[in-house]
Amino acid sequence: MGEDIDRLVADRLRQVRLDRGLTLTQLAQLTGISIAHLSRIEKGERQPSIGSLLQLARAYGVSIGALIEDLPEQDYHLVRAGEATVHRSGDARYEVLSGPHAGIAVVTVELPAGAGTDDAQHTGEEWLHAVVGSLLVRLGGNEIVLKPGDSLQFDSAVVHSLHNPSKRAVRALIASSATPARHPVSGLPRH
């Protein structure tokens, strides 16, 4: 993302918080994100991770798309090939495919060779689908390798991260809901 787009996202995040009448302290309590980190995000000094965006979207009752895009309210959301909003967090490149309606967030993630995401943990469920290349998923104390065509669904309250141990970029589709898992996957630690 360019600097102008980063600034627009930072301004939008601040404006949504103010529109809801929340202080940074209140937002930190709702999301579990530190006040200092929230402040840096709103000042444009730090780009929010996809995990942070999920937590903010859930706290506000909106989708990730509603936080980073200026979309009019409609009954549907169409994303044409090559027109998805792109968000970068560390080495990861995310394309936001879901629209302004709360409840589900759908993104694609592309990780260059050797890259990984920070640990994430949030309410709801996640579904991952490996599209290109093999993806290493660290989920609680487990390491799961997803090959192209493999899918994994889990309670996203379990600490998780994605890693690309290969020499080529990998691409995965992620769907995340704000609804907590009803049937936890057996054998996985609960946090």
Looking at residue 143, what is its pLDDT? 97
Cα distance between residue 52 and residue 27, in whole Å: 12
Instruction: List the chain domain ranges.
Output: 3-68, 85-177
Share of the chain above pLDDT 70, in %: 81
Looking at residue 184, what is its pLDDT? 36
Residue 76 makes CB contacts below 8 A (sequence gap 6+) with 99
Share of the chain above pLDDT 90, in %: 31
- Fold held by 3-68: 434 Repressor (Amino-terminal Domain) (1.10.260)
Kindly report the CATH class assigned to 85-177. Answer: mainly beta
Kindly indicate the confidence band of residue 173, based on its pLDDT and cuts at 50, 70 and 90: very high
Cα distance between residue 56 and residue 102, in whole Å: 11
Q: Which residue type occupies 102?
A: A
Model's pTM, two decimal places? 0.61
Cα distance between residue 106 and residue 14, in whole Å: 23
Quick one: 42 exposed, middle or buried, by C-beta within 10 A (0-12, 13-18, 19+)?
Answer: buried
Collapsing DSSP to helix, strand or coil, 161 comes out as strand
Please give the C-alpha separations between residue 82 and each of 79, 86, 96, in angstroms, as whole numbers.
8, 10, 11
Nearest alpha-carbon partner for 107 in 159, 157, 169, 177: 177
Looking at residue 56, what is its pLDDT? 85
Looking at residue 137, what is its pLDDT? 97
Residue 118 makes CB contacts below 8 A (sequence gap 6+) with 49, 51, 89, 90, 161
Number of neighbouring beta carbons within 10 Å of residue 11: 13
Phi first, then psi, for residue 173 (nearest 5°) are -105, 135
Q: Which residue type occupies 19?
A: D
Collapsing DSSP to helix, strand or coil, 42 comes out as helix
* Residue 171 in tokens: 């691409």
Cα radius of gyration rounded to whole Å, the chain: 16
Residue 6 vs residue 154, higher pLDDT: 154
Q: Tell me the pLDDT tens digit for each residue of 42-62.
A: 998 887 877 788 788 878 877
Q: Tell me the pLDDT tens digit for each residue of 86-112.
A: 777 778 887 777 766 556 788 889 999
DSSP 124: S
